[in-house]
Amino acid sequence: MSASAQVKRISVPDIAARKGQEPVVVLTAYSVSMATLLDDHCDCLLVGDSLGMVLYGLDSTLPVTLDMMINHGAAVVRGSSKACVVVDLPWASYQESPAQAFRNAARVLAETGASAVKLEGGEEMAETVEFLVRRGIPVMGHVGLTPQAVNALGGYRARGRSDAEQAKILGDAKAIAEAGAFAIVVEGVVEPLARQITEQVPVVTIGIGASAACDGQVLVTDDMLGLFAGFTPKFVKRYAEIGEQVSQAAASYAADVRARAFPGPAHLFGVKKG
């Protein structure tokens, strides 16, 4: 038996049991190679529909398809052995009805080997969350700034600045928790609201642009690593500037090729005598 086969993957109940305990570490992953690099350090790998913008250069997550999520989800499962893998359900793959959500969520789990799905929305999605959970599909919720609702929300601004908005988001989180979600991503909300949600819902909260008081944190890995130049969201801490290193390495390679310094003798095959 291989070493990887002996590793026990972190389960949904393991994550659910972390409420109020050691914070849950979550990062996004979209490929075998990145999943392999992150696996030892993360409790959960999220195959987010953010891949549409990060990998495909789309303007939003809305054009992401179910097939895209399944292909990348399967890759992340193959590249990991320890972390719990959660796959986003993309826009329009679950909002129509609980039955539609079940068909597509079941396909995601069957074809990727992931442990759970994530969907966005609050009270309006509670019936769907309950429908899935009662049929054996673990669900991670997502409230606050929900990127799939960018058109309805009018952009990516922080949420919860008014009393009415705070009450709505808190009610959404409570409804999703009551429906049976094992964890809830709380994104882009004012800090006191994220703290209040964490205190008042009985399930694990995963913050992103929320509060250190949440039961865990998630970032888009490419943001965290500085893999591209340009706008960096306020809530992102860059732990490396890999993009600059890639560019510098490519420049060095290009210079060597143009100077005929690469390949050198150490990189070439000679003729064997005899």
| Binding residue numbers for 3-methyl-2-oxobutanoate | 49-50, 88, 118
Please confirm, yes or no, whether 130 is among the known catalytic residues.
no
CB 86 within 8 A of CB 117: yes
Count of other CB atoms within 10 angstroms of residue 83: 27
**Is it true that the peptide bond before 263 is cis, omega within 30 degrees of 0?**
yes
Residue where the block lists tokens 């030892």: 40
Binding residue ranges? 49-50, 88, 118, 120
Count of other CB atoms within 10 angstroms of residue 192: 12
Say if residue 141 is exposed, middle or buried (CB neighbours under 10 Å; 0-12, 13-18, 19+): buried
In sequence order, the 6+-apart residues with CB closer than 8 A to the CB of 17 are: none
Of the residues 22, 96, 165, 187, only one is catalytic, namely 187
d(CA 114, CA 117): 8
DSSP string, 199-254: HH-SSEEEEESS-TTSSEEEE-HHHHHT-S-S---TT---S--HHHHHHHHHHHHH
CB 38 within 8 A of CB 221: yes
Which residues does the annotation mark as catalytic? Answer: 187
